Chains A and B, each alone.
Chain A
Amino acid sequence: MDQYELLSGNEAIARGAYEAGVKVAAAYPGTPSTEILENAAHYQRIQSQWAPNEKVALEVCIGASIAGARALAAMKHVGVNVAADPLLTFSYTGVNGGMVLVSADDPEMHSSQNEQDNRYFGLLAKIPVLEPSDSQEAKDFTMQALELSERFDTPVILRTTTRVNHAKSLVKIGEPQDMVVKDYEKNPAKYVMTPANAKGRHTVVESRRKALTEFAGETSLNRVELGDRRIGFITAGISYQYLKEIMPEASFLKLGLLWPLNEKLIKDFASQVERVIVVEELEPVLETQIKAMGVAVSGKDIIPREGELSEEILRKALGLKPFEKIFSSVQTLPVRPPILCPGCGHRGIFYTLKKMGLHVSGDIGCYALGSAPPFGCLDTTVCMGASITGAFGMELARGEEFARKCVAVIGDSTFFHSGITGLVDLVYNKGFGTVLILDNSITAMTGHQDNPGTGKDVKGLPAPKISIEKLVESVGVNRIQVVDPFDLKHCEQVLREELAAPEVSVVIVRRPCALYVRLKKPAFVVDAAACIGCKACLKLGCPAISVNGGKAHIDPLVCVGCGLCPQVCPKNAIQEAGENHD
């Protein structure tokens, strides 16, 4: 009997890699891609690794592919920007063992800084793009991507979106193929991309494009479902599922291979229906190409270009009645933004930065929450690693005085990812900047993945632990201090010293992530007689503390006993449970 499991798209991609005999898998964590490598690592025969960044992950996979193994690299959409350099030239060299790059895009920016549409990377790099619309396809397309890769001598992009990565659906479990490592022969004309060789390879890429275009007309990755001929949708990915809910009887050209497109396939479909609508999230990637073929279609004239699509949005766009919303509160409902957890080490440092009124050049991680009230600390958040370099640019623009009122904040994993080169720049080009490395000793926001500083690998096995102190020292930073963010006084004192110093300083703010290493200290309590209701403790933005009826209250079920609030209370009204309490 066939075995089915309820798998997320990410679990299904890992399963597909396993069944297809992938030997090497590498990734840097990033929502919504993270669980792909976590699950790949559960299969013993896959050599899985967290790489320090996406470029490294892809390059490891390129090496594995050239040497004959099947390989998979996984990253979020913005990670592909980091990996774009090797990707575009890997297109020229082609593969030996099959290679798939999973690009997990995040329309609606559930956990991202932009919502770029990475299908464009297919057009840019001239490599095929596959997009699944549920978990079964996520598994199947991963396997087919590896076959395509070898058949056409090209890397393949498997492009997913959050609603496929993190949605679960039934997947048929198959038997794993044998793991085959193909013969490797040194072949400089193919793999050494000097200009002379690359010119030859560009010609190969162009003939590959033509072969793939023909293939796109015959592959079962693309599927015509003829129904009611009055309307024909050309669609892909999750949009297909929404449309099938709304108009299951319409005609569909459901694309699984999104680049290159086959003109005959499109025109044949278009000729069989009265009206063609291209339905795709984000950019008009398909629409623009189809219009260039001279096919009249609707698309972004009625379908939104920003954010995710939904049944509701598509019903409206297609002129259908949405479901009635009967129940709606007359009260104003407060929003519930994400917050720093109780016991989070970032709280103490953001409290201090806010108190000192400093400019803060931010980075990507939980500490982006330092931009939210009550801290409102961050001046900038752009991309992984931009905190240090951004702060240096501000210093160059506004001078040394500004640098004395500005810090860069970057997490441990982000520092390994792309902070190191920025620090090298700051030292080499004689900056003054003060860099805070917020070391919570894990990659926290994405759900606690190990990194080069944690002493463990992706399988949880011991690994060399790379010392941030030694690394920083070796690039030439003379002033390095380590502080505990639970000690507010010391944090402020060290910051004052380092901001005043006329050279680069690094302050390592060290405290393990509160969700990863749980504090087990007794909750603090408020002495109501001593509390004057000044709300100084609310400036910590702690979810355990509220003020009711003019008195502060600490929720004993939420408080983990980090001890910050007694340090900010001007009346010593906050004490450890047990003190002055019978």
Chain B
Amino acid sequence: MPFKRQVKTMTKDNPVNILIAGVGGQGTVLASKILGEVAKSAGYDVKQSEIHGMSQRGGSVVTHVRYGQKIYSPLVAAGNADVIMAFEELEAMRYLPYLKKDGLLIVNQQQMLPMPVIAGNAQYPKDIVEEAGAMGAQVKASAASALALEQGDARAANVVLLGILSRHLEFPEDRWLDAIRKTVKDKLVDMNLRAFEVGRRQ
């Protein structure tokens, strides 16, 4: 090969790479939509990637969100995620190899048993949050589903997690609130705004 040296992407600021992992039906797509709106409103180039179809039937799902001055690929490369936001513990561990050295893992402390475990053909891994921490990953664990339930609906766990994420990104709170108002259904706005605040205080 003529090129042996590794080429770093851009001369400008490096893009921010966020992976949102969960189980089909948990609301990963809505979370990525809100995050994308926030980054867009701040004037960044944004790309995000989702998978629809079969995997949404309770399978493992992941959406990618990238923003920066100029973004080419809609996918986060393995080993290059700044943040992984996981809606479920096993899915956090599944996508952990995507996390870069100083990256942050935000994980919902919830375990949903996959069918091979329910059927008794496999074991659910043990102490996932602890193991991730022991490897040296920066981990922020939260009982987001329980916190969301206190606000009226466990399904708002996605927005609780966004509240946690918001503390680690540069955007002012107003941008997040505007994006939530713009993205969720009217009758669910208040509940989701409360869920976001709960996450932000974590």
Cα(A331)–Cα(B134), bound, Å: 13
Interchain nearest-CB distance for A68 vs B (Å)? 35
Q: Which of A1-44 contact B (CB under 8 A)?
A: 4, 6, 8, 31-32, 34-35
Chain B residues with Cβ under 8 A from A338's Cβ? Answer: 24, 54-59
Cα(A373)–Cα(B98), bound, Å: 29
- A110/B55 in contact, CB under 8 A: yes
- Given that A111-B53, A547-B120 are known contacts, is A245 also in contact with B9, CB under 8 Å in the complex? yes
- A110/B54 in contact, CB under 8 A: yes
> Which stretch, B76-84, B161-169, B185-193, B194-202, touches the partner chain A?
B76-84
When C-beta atoms are compared, the residue in chain B nearest to A324 turns out to be B79
Chain B residues with Cβ under 8 A from A244's Cβ? Answer: 72-73
Cα(A374)–Cα(B46), bound, Å: 42
When C-beta atoms are compared, the residue in chain B nearest to A328 turns out to be B97
- Which one, A163, A275, A332, contacts B74 given CB within 8 A? A163
- B7/A310 in contact, CB under 8 A: no
- Given that A169-B74, A331-B125 are known contacts, is A366 also in contact with B7, CB under 8 Å in the complex? no
Interchain nearest-CB distance for A131 vs B (Å)? 15
Q: Contact flags (1/0) for B109-142 with A, using CB distance below 8 Å?
A: 0001111111111111110100110011100000
Chain B residues with Cβ under 8 A from A34's Cβ? Answer: 52
Is A340's beta carbon under 8 Å from chain B? yes
- A538/B118 in contact, CB under 8 A: yes
Chain B residues with Cβ under 8 A from A460's Cβ? Answer: none
Q: Contact flags (1/0) for A316-335 with B, using CB distance below 8 Å?
A: 00111111111111111111
Total interface residues on B, CB under 8 Å, equals 71
Cα(A328)–Cα(B77), bound, Å: 15
Cα(A245)–Cα(B6), bound, Å: 12
Cα(A557)–Cα(B19), bound, Å: 26
Is B143's beta carbon under 8 Å from chain A? no
Is B90's beta carbon under 8 Å from chain A? yes
- A543/B118 in contact, CB under 8 A: yes
Main secondary structure of the interface of B (DSSP, over half): loop
- Which one, B78, B124, B132, contacts A312 given CB within 8 A? B78
- Chain A-chain B contacts (Cβ-Cβ < 8 Å), number: 224
Is B75's beta carbon under 8 Å from chain A? yes
Q: Which of A111, A168, A275, A369 has the most CB of B within 10 A?
A: A168
When C-beta atoms are compared, the residue in chain A nearest to B81 turns out to be A323
Is A152's beta carbon under 8 Å from chain B? no
Is A440's beta carbon under 8 Å from chain B? no
- A327/B1 in contact, CB under 8 A: no
When C-beta atoms are compared, the residue in chain A nearest to B74 turns out to be A167
Cα(A312)–Cα(B76), bound, Å: 10
- Given that A327-B135, A331-B125 are known contacts, is A372 also in contact with B115, CB under 8 Å in the complex? yes
Is B106's beta carbon under 8 Å from chain A? no
- A336/B91 in contact, CB under 8 A: yes
Is A456's beta carbon under 8 Å from chain B? no
Cα(A168)–Cα(B116), bound, Å: 33
Is A447's beta carbon under 8 Å from chain B? yes
Is B27's beta carbon under 8 Å from chain A? no
- B53/A339 in contact, CB under 8 A: no
Interchain nearest-CB distance for A199 vs B (Å)? 43
Is A421's beta carbon under 8 Å from chain B? no
When C-beta atoms are compared, the residue in chain B nearest to A229 turns out to be B2
Cα(A318)–Cα(B50), bound, Å: 27
When C-beta atoms are compared, the residue in chain A nearest to B64 turns out to be A167
Chain B residues with Cβ under 8 A from A369's Cβ? Answer: 57
Q: Which of A247, A325, A329, A366 has the most CB of B within 10 A?
A: A329
- Which one, B10, B37, B126, B137, contacts A327 given CB within 8 A? B137
- B55/A111 in contact, CB under 8 A: yes
Is A162's beta carbon under 8 Å from chain B? yes
Interchain nearest-CB distance for A370 vs B (Å)? 12
Interchain nearest-CB distance for B184 vs A (Å)? 16
Chain A residues with Cβ under 8 A from B40's Cβ? Answer: 4, 6, 170
- A321/B6 in contact, CB under 8 A: yes
Chain B residues with Cβ under 8 A from A310's Cβ? Answer: 75, 77-78
Chain B residues with Cβ under 8 A from A327's Cβ? Answer: 96-97, 99, 132, 135-137
Interchain nearest-CB distance for B109 vs A (Å)? 15
- A447/B96 in contact, CB under 8 A: no
Q: Which of A486-540 contact B (CB under 8 A)?
A: 535, 538
Is A246's beta carbon under 8 Å from chain B? yes
Cα(A547)–Cα(B117), bound, Å: 10
- A337/B99 in contact, CB under 8 A: no
- Which one, B80, B93, B132, contacts A333 given CB within 8 A? B93
- B125/A339 in contact, CB under 8 A: no
Is A274's beta carbon under 8 Å from chain B? yes
Is A213's beta carbon under 8 Å from chain B? no
When C-beta atoms are compared, the residue in chain A nearest to B44 turns out to be A170
Chain B residues with Cβ under 8 A from A242's Cβ? Answer: 72-73, 75
Q: Contact flags (1/0) for A145-164 with B, using CB distance below 8 Å?
A: 00000000000000000110
Chain B residues with Cβ under 8 A from A538's Cβ? Answer: 118-120
- A325/B36 in contact, CB under 8 A: no
- Which one, A231, A323, A332, A336, contacts B2 given CB within 8 A? A231
Interchain nearest-CB distance for A102 vs B (Å)? 16
- Which one, A168, A246, A318, A325, contacts B46 given CB within 8 A? A168
Q: Which of A241, A274, A311 has the most CB of B within 10 A?
A: A311
Q: Which residues of B contact A (CB under 8 A)?
A: 1-4, 6-7, 9-10, 23-25, 36-37, 40, 45-60, 71-75, 77-80, 90-91, 93-94, 96-101, 112-126, 128, 131-132, 135-137, 154
A-B contact pairs, 26 of them (CB 8 A): A4-B40, A6-B36, A31-B53, A111-B55, A166-B51, A169-B48, A242-B72, A244-B72, A311-B75, A320-B3, A326-B99, A327-B135, A328-B135, A330-B131, A331-B93, A331-B131, A333-B93, A336-B91, A338-B55, A339-B58, A339-B59, A340-B57, A341-B25, A373-B115, A373-B121, A538-B120
Known: A341-B25, A368-B54. 6 other contacts (CB 8 A): A310-B75, A327-B135, A337-B116, A338-B24, A339-B59, A538-B120
Q: Which 5 A-B pairs have the closest CB atoms?
A: A111-B53, A323-B79, A31-B53, A167-B74, A338-B59
